[in-house]
Amino acid sequence: MDGIISWFDYISGRPDEILADTWDHAKITLTVVIAATIFSVLLGVYAQRRPTVRALSLSITGIFLTIPSLALFAIFIPIVGIGNTPAMLALFLYALLPILRNTVTGLDSVPPAVVESAKGMGMSTMSQLFQIRIPLAWPIIMAGIRISSLITVGIAAIAVLVGGDGLGTYIQSGLTRLGLPNSLESVWTGVVFTVVLGLVLDLVWATFQRVTTTKGQRM
């Protein structure tokens, strides 16, 4: 009980600071997820009907996800220096697989008869893609985006180790001062706000998914 009270004291003592860091964390996450979405959807559309590209791109993005995060963050320091950039590059690579895989799966799930009838009515290849195939794959692509978003929010806390911003600062500073006053409060702040941010972002995506799909596509 005392712990919770002192934690509330801790956060109510510095609300602006915490909000600013949460916002930084959100910005990193959103930038990464949006960039990964654009890249993965384009790649997915290109790869879906090309077996070699498809297999290759899925394995490579799969391998990215298995590289230990600390190492992947550090790899980029010699190239781009410290700060948010190496962190965002690493997060970008992590975010690819769920979106890419779901894009490919989503496009696979579009009924061939629907594409056939679109083509048969004289829809150009581009119109078929933007008016039929992507809209129909969209709920599945969105599911991938939401998974990537959750992964990114969590792993982004490590950005602090390569000089980045975000809620990881509270975890790191708390851990280095462990045993000293407010150290645990600091760690908990980092953890709780990261989780809350993850849930809020998921809610944002859910709303976005709702407005970008029609009633005909919902269960």
CB of 5 vs another protein, minimal distance in Å: 52
* Closer of 68 and 122 to another protein (Cβ): 122
What is the Cα 71 distance to its own chain's centre? 19
Asked if 109 touches another protein (CB under 8 A), the answer is no
Asked if 126 touches another protein (CB under 8 A), the answer is no
# binding residues, another protein (CB under 8 A): 23
* Closer of 15 and 111 to another protein (Cβ): 111
Span near another protein by CB under 8 A; candidates 24-32, 115-123, 145-153, 194-202 = 115-123
Contacts of 158 (CB under 8 A, 6+ apart): 69, 70, 73, 87, 168
Residue 5 tokens, joined: 């009270």
* Closer of 96 and 136 to another protein (Cβ): 136
Residue of 197, 200, 188, 199 lying closest to 11 (CA atoms): 188
* Closer of 127 and 173 to another protein (Cβ): 127
Asked if 17 touches another protein (CB under 8 A), the answer is no
Span near another protein by CB under 8 A; candidates 64-72, 90-98, 110-118, 163-171 = 110-118
Asked if 121 touches another protein (CB under 8 A), the answer is yes
Tallying the residues shown for the chain, one arrives at 219
Task: Please answer whether residues 89 and 155 qualify as being in contact, where contact means their C-beta atoms are separated by less than 8 angstroms.
Answer: no
Asked if 85 touches another protein (CB under 8 A), the answer is no
- Rounded Cα distance between 107 and 90, Å, is 27
- Rounded Cα distance between 30 and 24, Å, is 10
Residues in region 180-219 near another protein by CB under 8 A:
213-217
Contacts of 193 (CB under 8 A, 6+ apart): 18, 21, 22, 25, 167, 170
* Closer of 6 and 213 to another protein (Cβ): 213
- Rounded Cα distance between 177 and 183, Å, is 6
Question: Site map for another protein, 130-149, x if CB under 8 A?
Answer: --x--xx-------------
Residues forming the site for another protein (CB under 8 A): 111-124, 127, 132, 135-136, 213-217
